[in-house]
């Protein structure tokens, strides 16, 4: 739970699931081991270098709606924890 | 000539398909409305067009996406019509780059240009056309702009015969070129890429030579080739985007504003509950009941009038009884619920077309996850309040096999429109002033049953494992009134057709069974009829939830297998045959059904709502679960749960009644 309250700043490396609403980050690495999931994330445009913004958070804290490549995508926090990012803002 | 219509989920394919063919296929504003390919003829031509389920790539993730991939890869197609969503160009073009690899002539219909314009996204058509070497037409399927031109292009064959450009880096392109002659099919380039990605589906196409090329390649890249290909594709698309698309996308869209309220941290779930409560309260509560009552009165007038007419004609007493007490009583009992069902259909249709449904899946996912389901299970559940059959089929969009199976088995628990007559009838009579509340309570009861069953299933049948939830959130849309009216009309028509065929036939059979004894004597006491003797065999099953042996209730519940509304039709016929003991509605005023108390009424409703669904739904379960054994498992599970719950409800309710 401690990790949740930690705030990440520009240039920090972290997992996508640790970001707060409104923060932007660049994807650095995709850790997903499950082949089907990994493939789907790639297909949805989560490739290395893409910019992601945390757009909306479900009322119960999970899943989270992110904005990338001009559209919105919902992901569960667990899946987001498999995506390493570099914080932009 | 055969045209394949393909694009991302929720990009407006079916809307365009309807325009091109002049048909009215179901549309909605959530990903995965189309789950089966649909074939039509383009207006003014003899060209066949196939509407395929939406996909994000040609590496399928769920069943309905596999249908599209298979069709494109295996069938003979003369032209691909790729529909591209202007508001999310990059993701759309990702599919486009894969489609181009198939080596089939292709045209692009750039849809929702008007919305993109409003958002400040400018697309330079000419540059885009050159970059992709494909004819592109900007259209609006919703506003019908430029669709005529599109047909002309298709008809004249007046589109670019695209020579596909290089999109990957040199090393990859070289590898593709050297694999192509080895595999040598009509989709060589596509297959070459798939082999490099090491896609499981295409392993059979691998030869020693291709394996050598691919393994050399992955040694050079030191990365997963699947990822390399995806990266390269998106890099290529980003380049096109930089040249052809300019966007200043900073302002708050309407969707964001609405979501600030509907997805609010504290208000989202209360708002959702109010909306759902409102829907069922309107349909099953006072307003719905009132319409039913009015139509019911006309029905009984019609029934009396027919009886008089037939007697005047000198018809024999049994034939009058067959028409009035059998056919009209059975079918009429069902038809009086029609206005109420129309209200329900209308409200569900609104939910489906606005874009709210995906939001519900989004914010309830957390809760559903806890019991082993996915937020996506909610889509079948909501459609299921109309009819279980399309609902069970829509579970295909759930990619996780366990979640999908559980959803299919749980969907029939949702009170479908055919169960609405049961609810309205019982609640209206036994809980007069609180009928709306009691009706709504049954829907929440259903949700409770679903959670409970999901927990049981998770514990005993399906081992818990991690699953994902990946859902695109569509923009809100103002529903298309014309389509909604059509949709409601279609469902109402289907209901009437069912009443005029299955219910009519079943009513005649019930009339026969109740009018005759085993020795085929007519005009007997209903208690001596064939129907009664069948019911008496089954009566003990219902004893613990009714507090009495009732053959009438038993045979009626059994007929729920034919169609749930048949329960009411059957009760009406049986009641019509027995003597009236008290004032009140026909059914509960008859000696056969006068035993019902609020407790047994509620219990009987619970049993009929949650026990095995109608044959149609059982068939759909059988198909989607993929095995008869699993289908039986589901049916027995549902009936078992229903029986236990009904007994508990009656015993507790009865205790309260005795104390009071």
Residue B434 lies in a domain: yes
Tell me how far apart the alpha carbons of residues B417 and B495 are, in angstroms, rounded to a whole number: 9
Please tell me whether residues B176 and B147 are part of one structural domain: no
Joined together, the tokens standing for residue A50 give: 């893409």
Give the per-residue pLDDT at A5. 54
Please tell me whether residues B111 and B177 are part of one structural domain: no
The nearest CA of chain A is from the CA of B7 a distance in Å of 14
Q: Can you tell me the mean pLDDT for B336-357?
A: 89
Chain B residues inside the 8 Å CB shell of A71: 87-88, 91, 472
Interface residue B357 vs chain A (CB under 8 A): no
The pLDDT of residue A34 is above 70: yes
Chain A residues inside the 8 Å CB shell of B363: 58-60
Give the per-residue pLDDT at B370. 87
> Domain range spanning residue B502?
271-659
CA dihedral B279, B284, B288, B289 (to 10 degrees): -160
Residue B275 lies in a domain: yes
The pLDDT of residue B390 is above 80: yes
Q: Can you tell me the mean pLDDT for B395-400?
A: 86
The nearest CA of chain B is from the CA of A10 a distance in Å of 20
% of chain B at pLDDT higher than 90: 42
Tell me how far apart the alpha carbons of residues B524 and B508 are, in angstroms, rounded to a whole number: 17
Chain A residues inside the 8 Å CB shell of B469: 63, 74-76, 79
Q: What is the pLDDT confidence band of residue B413, given thresholds at 50, 70 and 90?
A: very high
Residue B444 lies in a domain: yes
Helices (H), B184-267: 188-197, 208-221, 225-244, 254-262
Residue given tokens 């325009």 in the structure block: B19
H or E stretch at A71? strand A71-75
Q: Can you tell me the mean pLDDT for A57-77?
A: 92
Task: Tell me chain B's radius of gyration from C-alpha atoms.
Answer: 29
Joined together, the tokens standing for residue B262 give: 């509907």
Residue B162 lies in a domain: no
Q: What is the pLDDT confidence band of residue B462, given thresholds at 50, 70 and 90?
A: confident
* Residue where a domain terminates, one of B131, B156, B181: B156
The nearest CA of chain A is from the CA of B445 a distance in Å of 22
Tell me how far apart the alpha carbons of residues B280 and B445 are, in angstroms, rounded to a whole number: 13
Please tell me whether residues B149 and B238 are part of one structural domain: no
Q: What is the pLDDT confidence band of residue A1, given thresholds at 50, 70 and 90?
A: very low
* Residue where a domain terminates, one of B106, B123, B156: B156
Mean pLDDT of chain B: 88
Q: Can you tell me the mean pLDDT for B172-200?
A: 89
Please tell me whether residues B444 and B590 are part of one structural domain: yes
| Tens-digit pLDDT profile for residues B83-118 | 999 988 999 999 999 999 998 999 999 998 888 888
**Is there a contact between B62 and B396 (Cβ–Cβ < 8 Å)?**
yes
Please tell me whether residues B126 and B177 are part of one structural domain: no
Please tell me whether residues B516 and B653 are part of one structural domain: yes
Give the SS3 label for residue A84. strand
ipTM: 0.92
CA-based nearest residue to B337, from B291, B388, B285: B291
Output the domain CATH number for residue B58: 3.40.50.300
Please tell me whether residues B307 and B416 are part of one structural domain: yes
Give the per-residue pLDDT at B157. 83
| Tens-digit pLDDT profile for residues B36-75 | 888 999 988 899 999 999 999 998 888 888 889 999 998 9
Please tell me whether residues B468 and B615 are part of one structural domain: yes
The pLDDT of residue A3 is above 70: no
Nearest CA in chain A to B245: A70
Q: What is the pLDDT confidence band of residue B656, given thresholds at 50, 70 and 90?
A: very high
Please tell me whether residues B181 and B288 are part of one structural domain: no
Is the domain spanning A2-87 CATH 1.10.3720.10? The answer is no
* Residue where a domain terminates, one of B247, B262, B294: B247
Q: Can you tell me the mean pLDDT for B292-304?
A: 87
pTM for this one? 0.86
Could you give phi then psi for residue A75, rounded to 5 degrees?
A: -135, 150
Instruction: Count up the domains in chain B and report the number.
Output: 3
Residue B87 lies in a domain: yes
Interface residue B87 vs chain A (CB under 8 A): yes
Residue B263 lies in a domain: no
Give the per-residue pLDDT at A2. 45
Please tell me whether residues B303 and B427 are part of one structural domain: yes
Residue B262 lies in a domain: no
The pLDDT of residue B120 is above 90: no
Please tell me whether residues B119 and B227 are part of one structural domain: no
The closest CB to that of A79, out of B268, B375, B468, belongs to B468
The pLDDT of residue B584 is above 60: no
Residue B254 lies in a domain: no
Q: What is the pLDDT confidence band of residue B144, given thresholds at 50, 70 and 90?
A: confident
| Tens-digit pLDDT profile for residues B529-560 | 999 999 999 999 999 999 999 999 999 999 99
Tell me how far apart the alpha carbons of residues B648 and B544 are, in angstroms, rounded to a whole number: 9
Please tell me whether residues B355 and B224 are part of one structural domain: no
């Amino acid at each position: 739970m401690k990790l949740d309250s930690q705030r990440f700043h520009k240039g920090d490396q972290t997992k996508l699931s640790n970001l707060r609403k409104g923060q932007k980050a660049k994807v650095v690495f995709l850790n997903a081991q499950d082949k089907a999931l990994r493939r789907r994330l790639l297909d949805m445009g989560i490739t290395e270098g893409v910019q992601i913004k945390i757009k909306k958070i479900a009322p119960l804290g999970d899943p989270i709606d992110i904005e990338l490549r001009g559209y919105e995508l919902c992901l569960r926090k667990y899946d987001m924890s498999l995506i390493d990012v570099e914080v932009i803002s | 000539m055969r045209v394949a219509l393909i694009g991302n989920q929720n990009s407006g394919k079916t809307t365009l398909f309807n325009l091109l063919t002049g048909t009215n296929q179901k549309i909605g504003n959530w990903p995965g409305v189309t789950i089966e390919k649909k074939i039509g003829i383009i207006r003014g031509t003899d060209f066949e067009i196939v509407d395929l389920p939406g996909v994000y790539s040609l590496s399928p993730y769920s069943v309905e996406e596999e249908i599209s991939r298979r069709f494109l890869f295996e069938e003979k197609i003369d032209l691909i019509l790729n529909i591209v969503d202007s508001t999310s160009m990059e993701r759309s073009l990702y599919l486009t780059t894969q489609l181009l690899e198939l080596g089939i002539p292709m045209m692009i219909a750039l849809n929702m240009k008007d919305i993109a314009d409003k958002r400040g996204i400018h697309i330079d058509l000419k540059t885009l056309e050159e970059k992709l070497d494909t004819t592109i037409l900007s259209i609006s399927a919703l506003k019908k702009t430029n669709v005529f031109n599109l047909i002309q292009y298709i008809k004249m064959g007046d589109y670019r015969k695209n020579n596909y450009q290089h999109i990957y880096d040199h090393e990859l392109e070289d590898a593709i070129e050297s694999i192509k002659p080895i595999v040598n099919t009509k989709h060589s380039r596509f297959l070459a890429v798939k082999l490099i990605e090491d896609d499981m589906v295409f392993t059979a196409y691998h030869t020693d030579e291709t394996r050598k090329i691919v393994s050399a390649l992955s040694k050079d890249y030191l990365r997963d080739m699947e990822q390399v290909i995806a990266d390269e594709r998106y890099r290529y698309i980003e380049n096109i985007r930089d040249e052809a698309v300019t966007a200043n996308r900073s302002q708050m869209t309407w969707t964001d504003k609405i979501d600030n309220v509907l997805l609010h941290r504290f208000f989202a779930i209360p708002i959702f509950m109010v909306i759902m409560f409102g829907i069922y309260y309107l349909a099953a509560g006072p307003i719905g009941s009132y319409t039913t009552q009015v139509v019911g009165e006309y029905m009984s007038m019609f029934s009396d009038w027919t009886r008089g007419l037939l007697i005047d004609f000198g018809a024999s007493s049994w034939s009058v009884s067959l028409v009035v007490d059998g056919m009209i009583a059975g079918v009429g009992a069902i038809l009086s619920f029609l206005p109420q069902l129309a209200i329900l259909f209308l409200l569900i249709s609104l939910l489906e077309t606005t874009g709210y449904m995906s939001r519900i899946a989004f914010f309830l996912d957390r809760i559903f996850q806890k019991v082993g389901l996915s937020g996506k299970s909610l889509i079948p559940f909501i459609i299921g309040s109309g009819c279980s059959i399309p609902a069970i089929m829509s579970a295909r969009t759930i990619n996780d096999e366990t979640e999908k199976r559980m959803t299919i088995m749980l969907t029939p628990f949702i009170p479908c429109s055919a169960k609405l007559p049961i609810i309205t009838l019982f609640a209206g009579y036994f809980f007069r002033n609180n009928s709306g509340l009691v009706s709504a309570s049954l829907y929440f009861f259903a949700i409770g049953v679903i959670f409970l069953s999901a927990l049981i299933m998770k514990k005993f049948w399906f081992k818990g494992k991690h699953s994902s939830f990946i859902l695109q959130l569509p923009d809100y849309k103002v529903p298309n009134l014309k389509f909604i009216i059509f949709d409601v009309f279609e469902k109402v028509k289907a209901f009437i057709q069912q009443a005029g065929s299955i219910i009519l036939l079943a009513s005649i059979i019930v009339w026969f069974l109740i009018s005759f004894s085993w020795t085929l004597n007519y005009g007997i006491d209903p208690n001596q009829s064939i129907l009664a003797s069948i019911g008496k065999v089954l009566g003990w099953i219902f004893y613990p939830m009714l507090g009495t042996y009732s053959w009438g209730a038993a045979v009626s519940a059994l007929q729920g297998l034919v169609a749930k509304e048949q329960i009411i039709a059957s009760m009406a016929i049986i009641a019509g045959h027995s003597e009236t003991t008290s004032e009140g509605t026909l059914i509960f005023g008859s000696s056969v059904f006068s035993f019902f108390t609020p407790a047994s009424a509620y219990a009987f409703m619970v049993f009929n709502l949650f026990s095995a669904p109608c044959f149609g739904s059982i068939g759909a379960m059988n198909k989607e679960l993929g095995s008869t054994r699993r289908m039986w498992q589901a049916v027995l599970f549902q009936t078992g749960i229903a029986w236990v719950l009904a007994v508990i409800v009656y015993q507790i309710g009865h205790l309260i009644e005795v104390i009071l």
